[in-house]
Structure 1
Amino acid sequence: MKSETYEELRERSYEYLTLNRFPGTKEHKEAKSIIKNLLREKGIPFVEENFLVKKRVPIGAYLKVNEHYIRAFPFVGSLSGTFEGYVKENFVEGDIALQEAKSINFELIKSKNVKAVVCYLNSLDHIFYGGVQEDLAIVSIKKSDLPKVKDFYAKLYVKSKEEVIRCSNILLELGKGPVVYLVAHMDTKPETYGAVDNGLASFILPYIYQELREDFRIPFRIRVLITDCEEVGLEGAKHHLSKVIKHAYYCLNLDGIGWSSPAIIYRDSDGYNDYELSEKFYRIAKQVGLEAQLKAVPSAKSDHIPFKKLGLKTLFLSSHPLPIRHTICDNYDAIDWQIARLWFVAILHFLKNLGRT
């Protein structure tokens, strides 16, 4: 990576990475304009794929326990309403379930007919901004507030609103031949900046395109897809794939690069990603000095999964563990820029060597 490219990336990404990019917000629209203006400035042609999604958008929540009020925040998709009961880790029907935010047992919750969940992060004393597909009321609280609610009888007030959100993917193409997707989502959860998840990766894609264009000798068509609404159910990837996709073979997904624990996720919530792609990237990363670990993360979900379901060979590049994910701690200052630079170099090397034995 050229030093001037590196310095430009660090400087120009600041405005983008300090915006909350939750779909439908003013800052989300502003961030999209920053990306499109960057592409126009660099003379990179693009197509915008517009679509609509309907989601329950969180507004606010709190718990009332013995006349004390504890701040909470609903997950995207959470039901609205007022719920009451004992807040219990070992819950039964009629209770409010208490769960660790990154290991919510939805099957158990369904089996106990529980309608409301309070969760917290074990690793950080911050609210976790999550999402839920099930018809449940789920809120997050700080870990320090746990003693105020655990095993107490509480009233939980949750407010969300169903909205139709205008979204769009940004699509760039380079070269001819069988299609290789290079994918990164640009959106965030509410209230967060998502610098590592996934602002850096989405902002870096135009720079990767620019570098490849200078001396393009790859026997593939590189299709760069900056997706929207990944954080509300992989909606951007699903929309793109709702059209017939021909002659596509590989999907490389960047989601969560730039933290101090670079990882190649060889198994995720939808099973195994391509072994050969994972191994090849691991070797190239080693060569350029990126100490990425091969990791199985059965809870991980991201935009490559709809591609995998269609039969494409997938490579999932991320960081694990990433304790700051979906918290206010995931900000510009959290990025390890030396690791970000190594990711850039490794991805370029990998793409330039794709198709070679």
Structure 2
Amino acid sequence: MTTDPGTDGLEDLLRELGPQVLGVLVRRGSDFAAAEDAVQEALLEAVRRWPDARPDDPKAWLVTVAGRKLVDEIRSATARRRREERLQHEPEPGPTEQADDTLLLLSRCCHPALTPASAIALTLRAVGGLTTAQVAEAFLVPEATMAQRISRAKRTVSGERFDQPGDVTAVLRVLYLVFNEGFTGSVDLAQEAIRLARQLSAATDDPEVEGLLALMLLHHARRRARRTPEGAVVPLADQDRSLWDTAMIAEGVDILQAALARDRLGEYQVQAAIAALHDDAATAGETDWVQVVEWYDELVRLAPGQPVLLNRAVAVGAADGPLAGLRALEQVEQGVPRRDAAAAWLHEQAGDLDEAARLYALAAARAGNVAERDHLTRQAARLRNR
């Protein structure tokens, strides 16, 4: 043990190590819920003991203590004695095993048997290392409600046997949902999703993982320009691009180019390519809309859906004129979120300002959040008061 009277960095260290230790126990065949309980007990013991004497190998210490606590629990059930032996004698994992543990744990937390909301909550709790209170705050629900949701999710996956990591597609979908929640409460969920995507990237050899990581970075690079100091939404075309994080954009582009070079195109790589074209333009007017439309055509082929057709129609309007955009918008069903806003913008570009104002007002009434509603209301008022 090394003497360390302080607690500097202890919380961050335990948050980083907790999911890794849980992954080791899960890979060894432990019940998910029981393993997490054992890890939490080990973390609490570390909080009590490490400020006075921190171990030379903190992860090994936690694995040992959590394993012992799990064994103590298992001893009460004779049917689990074989698992106890395996926990006591299995060697420590190497780097490859640790990467497998990360993917295994993410696969379990994102199991198809879980609802998206439950998968997100369990991922943030078990892999992200957030407390139940932090997850509850992020989703604006009482802590007791979130605790019940996480407990139900753990019971669901505890009945599933995992010998190998599952389909990475489900994991990517959950991480993207986490990313799109953005910043709520004390936790930046977008940053948390990026951190988890980096872990997944280290654990897999899938260019779509790189595509999702690049997409997150290219979008997150614009975060400081998306709102005014008062919290109002700033559309992409009106953002102060000097506020964009150029280092993050460069990293995202590098990751994307490496993924595209492997010639296994997927939807996240395509979305990242579109984001890169926006980030590459010095001004909104310099955006290469023709290429953007070409990438949307690829996205329609890979992942057809109404939201994709909606975004493609806006791109067509920017590339070929608003009337072409309105024709493309006819493929999008009425009632699709933000369809009215897109139609309003296209009508405004075409010079039909009365119809644009009507559609902006309609879009505001159907907006999914207050910031979006206020922005669309201002657009309608701007045209009516012209």
TM-score by length of 1: 0.23
Structure (1 or 2) with the greater helix fraction: 2
TM-score, normalisation: structure 2: 0.22
- Between 1 and 2, higher relative CO (CA 8 Å, sep ≥ 6) is seen in 1
